[in-house]
Amino acid sequence: MIKIILAALLTLLVLTIFVSLRIFSILPNRQHVIPQTQILQSSRIVEITTPSKSHILFILGSGGHTTEMFAMLQDISPDTVTHRTYVFSSGDNHSAQKAQAFEESLVGKFTKRNNMKIGYRLLELPRARRVKQSWLTTPLSCLICLWSCMDVLRGADIVRMTKEMKSLWADMEFPDLVICNGPGTAVMVVLACYFYKFFGKCATRVIYVESFARVTTLSLSGRLLLPLANRFFVQWPQLADKYPGTEHLGFLVS
What are residue 56's DSSP bridge partners? 84, 177
Amino acid at 80: T
**Planar angle of CA 59, 224, 14, nearest 5 degrees:** 115
With 80 as the cut, is the pLDDT of residue 197 above it? yes
Amino acid at 5: I
CA-nearest of 56, 55, 71 to 211 is 71
Amino acid at 225: L
Q: Is residue 105 part of a domain?
A: yes
Q: Is residue 143 part of a domain?
A: yes
Q: Is residue 6 part of a domain?
A: no
Q: Is residue 17 part of a domain?
A: no
Q: Which range of residues forms the domain containing residue 47? A: 39-248
Q: Is residue 20 part of a domain?
A: no
Q: Can you give the C-alpha Rg of the chain in angstroms?
A: 20
Q: Is residue 19 part of a domain?
A: no
What total of structural domains would you count in the chain? 1
In tens, the pLDDT along 99-127 reads 999 988 887 666 545 555 568 999 999 98
CATH of the domain at 210: 3.40.50
Distances (CA, A) of 214 to 2, 189, 240: 55, 21, 12
Whole-prediction pTM:
0.87
Quick one: pLDDT band at residue 248, thresholds 50, 70, 90? Answer: confident
Instruction: Quote the mean pLDDT of the chain.
Output: 84
In tens, the pLDDT along 118-153 reads 689 999 999 887 777 788 888 888 899 999 999 999
Q: Is residue 253 part of a domain?
A: no
Q: Is residue 200 part of a domain?
A: yes
More confident residue, 19 or 52: 19
